[in-house]
Structure 1
C-alpha cells in the first residue's frame, strides 16, 4: 500500500511537467514573453500618462541625475559620464541658439559618423525641440543633396573629416540659405562656419524646457534614411511616440546598468541609433563607441573595455567567423549579442567558436509597424508567433507572385493567406497602436508601402517587402526580400538560401545571389557574385559538385562572377541592383565569369562565343 501511495505521489509530481514538455514545449518561454509584453505596455502607457509629456530626452535626464558620474560613452581613450554628456550637449544647444539662421524647433541635419559629437548634437537638438535628420556619412553629391532636401533642414552640422563632401554641394546649400556648421575650431571655406570653437566657449547651463514645449508625441524626432540598395534613400519619419515605444521594448532585452555595450554600427541607422544609443539611454549602460566595424579589432576591443553586450547586423557575424582562429577566441566577457540577419549556419559557428553567448535575434525595420523577438533562442528564427502579440499587432503572411511582383488575390480581390510552412509576404495592419508614419516629402513611396483590401474590403496593411515562413511550432523565419526572390523554370528561387549554400563551400568566402534576364527565356536565371577565401583558388569542378549536391537544378546559379569584395551598404546589406543591370556579358565585365556546364560537370570560363550563343538562342540554359 505504501509503495502504491509513493508511486501515485511521484507520478503526480513528475507527470504534469513531462506532459507539458511534450504537448506544450514552449509554454514556459511563451509565458515569459507574455510577461515582457505586459512590462512593455505598462512602461509605455506609464510614460504616456506623465505630465509634462515624457520623451526619450527626459529618460536621459533621469539617468544623468541618478548616475551623474557613471561612464555613459567611451570613445578610444576618452570617457564621458552622463553628467559630462549632459553639460556638453547644453553647450552645443547654446552655441546653436546663437546662430542667426536657426530657431528652436527647426529641423537640423547631422552629417557625421560615429563620434561623441554625434551624441552631443542629437541631445542638444532634442533639448531645443528640433527634429534631427541623420545623414549617412558615406553619401556624396546628388544623394547628399537629395537626403538633405527630404527633411527640409535649415542647418547642416558636419564632421570635420567630411568637409570636402560638404564643399562639393556647398553652392546648392548656399542657394537654399542653409547654415553650414563644421565641427572644427577653424574653417577657411567661405560659407562653412567653424562650430567647435563656439561650443567650447558656450555656457553649459541647463536648457529651459520651454524651448521644447511645442513638441508632442506626433512630432518628428529623427529622420532615418533607408540604405538605398535600390534608387535614392528615403527618409523614414520616426516620431517621438515611436522613440518612446522603442524605449519600452529595449527595457526587456536583458541589458542592465552594469553592462558595457559595444556599438560599432552606424549611429545614423536604426540599429546603431535605437539599439545602441537609445538602448543605453534606457538602461543606463555604458556605450563603447567605435568609429566603424572592424572584424580584426572586434574581440581585442571587447577585452580592452570589458564589453558584456555586442551588436550585430547582416554579415557582421560572418566577418567575425571568417577571421583567423586564435587561442583566445573565448577569452572575453561578452554574454549577449543583439541584432538581426544572422543565418543559421553562421549562428552555430559563432557559438561554437566564441562560446556561450546568448544571441537575441529580432526582426524590425526603420519605418515598419511590426517586429519580432526570438526570445526562445531558436537558431535561425527571427521570432515566434504569439497570440497576445498578434492581438495587439495584427499581421499575416499572404501568398506572393514573384513573377508579377505582387500579392496573389482571390476572385473577391482579397489577398490569400499562406498556409503553415508556406512562404508568404509579411503584412501588418496599420492601426493606432501600430501606425505607419511614412517617408518625408515622398507621398508616392509612402502610399506604395500600403497594401489595401488584404483580408477585408477597406483594410490597410503595411507591406514589409519581406518574405517569411511560419513553421508548425509557430517559429517565424525570414526567407528573402521581395525582388530578391526570382522565378526560374516555373520555380521560386530564394537568393539567401542559395547564398548560404555557396558560402559553406570550400573555396568561397561570400556570395551575393541574384537573377538576371536572358533573351528568349522566361523569368530570371540565377547568378552569383562571389569572393574567394584567402589563399584559395576557384575550383569549378568542386563548386559544381557542391551545388548539385545541395540545390535543385532550377536553383543552381548558372553564372558565377568572381569579385575581390562583395559590395555592401553601411549596414552590410548586399548591393544587387548594379550587378543585375550588368548581367553576364564578358565583353563589359572585367571580373572573371564562369558558366555552369553540365557536360563538363564544372563551372567553366564564360567566353564571348558562349555569350553570343546564349543571346541568339543556340545555347539553352
Structure 2
C-alpha cells in the first residue's frame, strides 16, 4: 500500500500542473465562480431579510464597527463614518421638517462632487425616500426633462449652480417645486437655504420606522444615461441593484484597509453605486475629488496613499497624455477598477505606471448582465464561464447593422453569433436578473426588451452593445450598435478603427464615426482628431498607417482636426453632432482632410473635392 501511495504521489502532484497546461485559466475560473457564489449567497441572505437589508444598514454597521475611521477624504477635509452618520441624520431631519419630505418621496440632487452629496443621499435614504441624481452639467430643457421624469417636488442644489436653477425657475414655480440651495442663506429669489437648517437640526438617529416599508425592489435612486444620442433616460435603481453593485469590490478583492480614489462624478453609477457603496460594504476609505484632473491625478494618489483607483471612458487616456515624469511609477496603487479602457491605452498605462492590476468590467446602470476581467488580460472585459452563464443566462446574437435589428431565422428566432464573430449581447430577464426599466416614457423601457428570442414568450434585455468571444473564451467589447456603421457591404467598428489611429505618434485623441455621403449608400468612415501640442498632421504618414493596418472599407476617408473633443460628463465622446455636420467644408470651420488614393496621402478637403464626390466623379 505504501509503495502504491509513493508511486501515485508524483502523478497527483503533477496533476494540477497538467490541468493548468491544458486549461490555462481553469483555476482562475474556479476562483471567480466561488467568489460569485459566495457573493450571491450573501446577497440573497440580505434580500430575504424583513425589512430589507439595504446599503443604509451596511453603512450603520460600519459606523458601529469603526466610528472614528475616515470614510471620505476631500481636499484637506476628513469625514469619519460617525461624522457622516450624524450629518446624514441632520439632513434627513431638515428635509423632513422644512421641505415636507415624507417617506416614499423622491428628492432631486443637483450638485457637483462634495462630501455633502453623500450625506444628503444617506439622509434621504434614511427617510425611506429615493434620490434623483441629476447631471450637474445639463441645463434648461434637458434639466427640466430629467427632473420631470423623477416626479420629485424638492430640489437640493449646489450654490455654484445658481444660474442653471434661475434659468428654469419660472417652469419650476408653475409646478410648485421647492428649491433648496446648500447654503447658509437664500441666494436666489423664490428659493430657500438648507445648510443652516442642517446645522441646526438634531444629529440623533433617524427612526428606522420611517423606512420600514422599504424592500429590495423599492426604488432607491434614478441615475441618468449620458444622453449621447438624445435626452437622458432615468434608469430605475432599486436597493437590490445597489447591493449587487457592491459585489464588484468583493470580486476585485478590495479590502477594508484600502483607500479608493474616485475623481468621477457622483451622479454616475461608477462613482456612486460602485465607489461609494463599495467602500461602505468593505468599510474602506473613499477619496473624493470635486472634478477630475489628469495633471493632479498621481499627486492625489501619493498625497492620500491611494491603493485603488476608479476610471471610466477616456480618463486613462488623459492620464497617459500627461507629460512623463521620473516618479510615474512612484505610488501605492495596486488596482484599477473601471470600464471603457481601450487596448492601446491599457498597454501604455501599464508601461508608464507599473504593475497595476486592471479590473476592466462590462456592465450598465440598468442592465442585467455583467462581466469582470479577473485574469488581467489586456483588452478583455471578462471570460465566458459556463457556470456563470447557467446562473445568469445571456447570449451573443447576430445583428444586422444596416437594418438596425437582430438577425432572425425563418421561424422568427434570433441566431447565436459564433466565436470570433461580433454579436449583440442580451441578458435573459428573470426575477434573479431583472430589468427595472426607465421612468417616464414607457417606450424607452420597451425599446430595450427583445421578445420571442429563442422560443415563444422569452424576454431578454438588449444591451445595445456588440461584443466578441475569442477561441480562448475571452470576451471583448466591439462597439455600440449605433456607432458601428456599414460601408461597401462591410460592418465597421468605430472602436477598432480608433484603436488603430491612436497608434500614430502625433495623434492624442480620436473619435471615429460614420457619415452619409450624398448620392451614395451607407455611411463612410470619418475621424475627428486632436493632435499633440506642437504637432501637425502628416498626411502621408497617416495614409501609410491606415493602408497597412486597416482594410480598404474601414479606412477613414475624411478627417476633422479639433482643438478639443466634446465629451459627456462621464467622459464619453459625443458623435451625433459630428455625424450631422459630416464633411461639408462650407459648414465646418475646423481643418478637414480627404484620403486621396492618387496622391497616397490625406490632403486638405476643398469645395471642389466635395462637388466631385457629390457628382460621383471621385470614387470612394
Indicate conservation of the 8 Å contact 1:110/1:156, yes or no: yes
Extract unaligned runs of 5+ from structure 2: none
Give distance in 1, aligned partners of 2:534 and 2:274.
Answer: 37
1:325-350 Cα shifts (integer Å, max 9, x gaps): 10001110101100011122211111
Equivalent position of 2:612 in the other structure? 613
Output one character per residue of 1:170-193: Cα deviation in whole Å (capped at 9) or x when no partner: 111111111100001122422111
Which residue does the alignment assign to 1:412?
411
Aligned to 1:273: 272
Displacement of 1:575 in angstroms is 0.4
- 1:237 and 1:21 map into 2 onto residues whose CA distance is 43
Q: Work out whether 1:310 is the aligned partner of 2:309.
A: yes
Q: Answer yes or no: is the 8 Å Cα contact 2:294–2:322 preserved in 1.
A: yes
How much does 1:14 deviate?
Answer: 5.3
Report the alpha carbon displacement of residue 251 of structure 1 after superposing the two structures with TM: 2.6
Instruction: Provide the C-alpha distance between the structure 1 equivalents of 2:246 and 2:4, rounded to a whole number of angstroms.
Output: 54
Match of 2:244 in 1: 245
Distance in 1 between the 2:59 and 2:296 partners?
30
Aligned position for 1:388: 387
Q: Secondary structure at the match of 2:588?
A: coil
Partner of 1:64: 63
Partners of 1:385 and 1:157 lie apart in 2 by: 44
Whole-angstrom CA distance in 1 between matches of 2:245 and 2:587: 47
- Residue in structure 1 matched with residue 23 of structure 2 by the alignment: 24
- Please give the secondary structure, in 1, of the residue aligned with 2:192: strand
Q: How does 1:181-200 map to 2 (within 5 A)?
A: 181-200=180-199
Which residue number corresponds to residue 488 of structure 1?
487
| Distance (Å, rounded) in 1 between the aligned partners of 2:169 and 2:231 | 20
Mapped to 2, the partners of 1:554 and 1:6 lie a distance apart of 64
Structure 1 unaligned segments of length 5 or more: list them. none
Q: Map 1:387-466 to 2 at 5 A.
A: 387-466=386-465
SS at match of 1:610: helix
Contact 2:224–2:235 (8 Å) recurs in 1: yes
Query: Hey, what's the Cα distance between the residues in 1 that align with 2:18 and 2:99?
Result: 72
**Post-superposition offset of 1:377:** 1.0
- Equivalent position of 1:220 in the other structure: 219
1:137 maps to 2:136: yes
Change (3 A) 1:149 1:506: same
The equivalent of 1:335 in structure 2 is 334
- TM-score of the two chains, using structure 2 as the length reference: 0.98
Q: What is the deviation of 1:250?
A: 3.1
What is the CA distance between 1:13 and its match in structure 2?
4.9
User: 1:360-381 deviations in whole A, cap 9, x for unaligned?
Assistant: 1110001100000111111111
Question: Greater shift after overlay, 364-373 or 40-49?
Answer: 40-49
CA distance in structure 1 between the partners assigned to 2:372 and 2:137 by the alignment: 30
Aligned to 1:245, what secondary structure does the other structure show? helix
Q: Which residue of 1 aligns with 2:524?
A: 525
Deviation at 1:442, TM superposition (A): 1.9
What does residue 477 of structure 2 align with?
Answer: 478
Instruction: Give the direction of change, closer, same or farther, for the CA distance of 1:91–1:7 in structure 2 (3 Å limit).
Output: closer
| 2:154 corresponds to 1:155 | yes
Q: 3-state SS of the aligned residue for 1:251?
A: helix
Q: Residues 531-570 of structure 1 correspond to what in structure 2 (within 5 A)?
A: 531-570=530-569
Alpha-carbon distance in structure 2 between the residues aligned to 1:320 and 1:360 = 17
Distance 1:52 1:476 in 2: 38
Contact 1:101-1:178 at 8 Å conserved across structures: no
- Deviations along 1:64-89, whole A, 9 cap, x unmatched? 11000000001101100000000011
**Partners of 2:102 and 2:21 in 1: how far apart?**
63
Counterpart Cα distance in 2 of 1:585 and 1:360: 42
2:167 aligned residue: 168
Q: Is the 8 A contact 1:101 1:179 kept in 2?
A: no
Deviation at 1:51, TM superposition (A): 3.5
Corresponding residue number in structure 1 for 2:584: 585
After TM superposition, the runs of 4+ consecutive aligned structure 1 residues lying more than 6 A away are: 4-7
**1:211 CA drift (Å):** 1.1
Aligned equivalents of 1:52 and 1:428: distance in 2? 29
Give the TM-score, by structure 1 length.
0.98
Q: 2:346 matched to 1:347?
A: yes
| Rounded Cα–Cα distance in structure 2 between residues aligned with 1:163 and 1:472 | 55
CA distance in 2, matches of 1:11, 1:53: 52
